[in-house]
Amino acid sequence: MNRNLSIRHIQVGAVLGLVMDAAMARFRVVLASRWMSSSSLGLVRVAAVAAALLLSSGGCGADEQEVELNGTVLKDAESAPNFSLSNQLGQTVTLDSLGGRVVALTFLYTNCPSVCPIVTSQLREVYEGLGTDAELVEFVVISVDPERDTAEAARAYLDRWKLSDGWGFLVGNRADLEPVWKSYYIDPAIDDPDTAALVSRAPASAAPSGAIDALRSEIAQRFDVIHSAPVYLIDPDGRRRVVFTPPLDAPEIVEDIRALLGGG
């Protein structure tokens, strides 16, 4: 009886460890941003509560084959949340449509002056480092700037980085993008409250009428978006397996992608 009880304690302890690892990984994704909202903190609390609930219920997920990976491993290997957005060519892209391939997913915007060019450059190193294996990988960028990122802007951004082949830059309106941000623990914010107010009041498609409206429209286009830029690796079975946060180590990401391609 004592032996069975000890085994039970070990099993429950292992489950709690796995879930708390995933919770801390999500916390690090949110913390990577220079700005954290109360909603972001709430997501961390939810993850901790989920761990407690799993322990109290004695639940235990299916055993996962351990794979040596460089990034922060999400050991629960949950299914990555699906999305449906338009790419730089105006085509609808869903995560489900990319099944059977490894997906490298991040969040950027075309007018970004700082972190986005760095992350793009490092991911291009990953793309080039994969060689022919890059044909088995989808590199996907999701916009954090629905007010300015159009399909045309996304296409110009990829062209500028010579990444038009094998990459997708997905855009949409705020209503389409916000649920995706939330499901991947992204919480973008305009860095200037006054500009944010202007943007929020600006009509979606109306052209400015008069000098004052034209000036207001121009000012509303001059802002930075504060956001984190994690890189998620999603395996061919559609599971969110590992996350990297800047600064990125391109060779390490290449190794992890190849491990997932190999069935890890």
Question: Backbone phi, then psi, for 2, in 5-degree steps?
Answer: -60, -40
pLDDT > 80? residue 26: no
Give mean pLDDT, residues 154-175: 95
- Name the token pair of 173: 């309106």
- Upper half-sphere CA count for residue 262 (Cβ side, 13 Å): 11
Residue predicted with more confidence, 127 or 198 = 127
pTM, 2 dp: 0.70
Query: For a pLDDT cut of 70, what percent of the chain falls above it?
Result: 63
What is the per-residue pLDDT for 223? Answer: 86
Give mean pLDDT, residues 184-210: 63
Q: Which residues are bridge partners to 86 per DSSP? A: 92, 171
pLDDT > 80? residue 161: yes
pLDDT > 80? residue 126: yes
Give mean pLDDT, residues 156-176: 95
Residue 145 to residue 229: CA distance in whole angstroms? 13
Q: What is the pLDDT confidence band of residue 101, given thresholds at 50, 70 and 90?
A: very high
Burial 142-167 (b: 16+ CB within 10 A, else e): bbbbbbbbbbebbbebbeeeebeeeb
Which domains, ranges and CATH numbers included, belong to the chain? Answer: 70-188+227-261 (3.40.30.10)
Query: What is the H or E stretch that residue 167 is in?
Result: strand 167-170
Q: Report yes or no: 145 and 174 within 8 Å, Cβ to Cβ.
A: no
Residue 68 to residue 102: CA distance in whole angstroms? 16
R_g of the chain computed on alpha carbons? 20
Q: What is the pLDDT of residues 56-87, one digit of tens each?
A: 333 334 444 567 899 999 978 889 999 999 99
Q: Report yes or no: 120 and 161 within 8 Å, Cβ to Cβ.
A: yes
What is the per-residue pLDDT for 114? Answer: 86
Amino acid identity, position 127: Y
Amino acid identity, position 241: R
Give mean pLDDT, residues 125-138: 97
If you average pLDDT over every residue of the chain, what do you get? 76
pLDDT > 50? residue 134: yes
Residue predicted with more confidence, 189 or 27 = 189
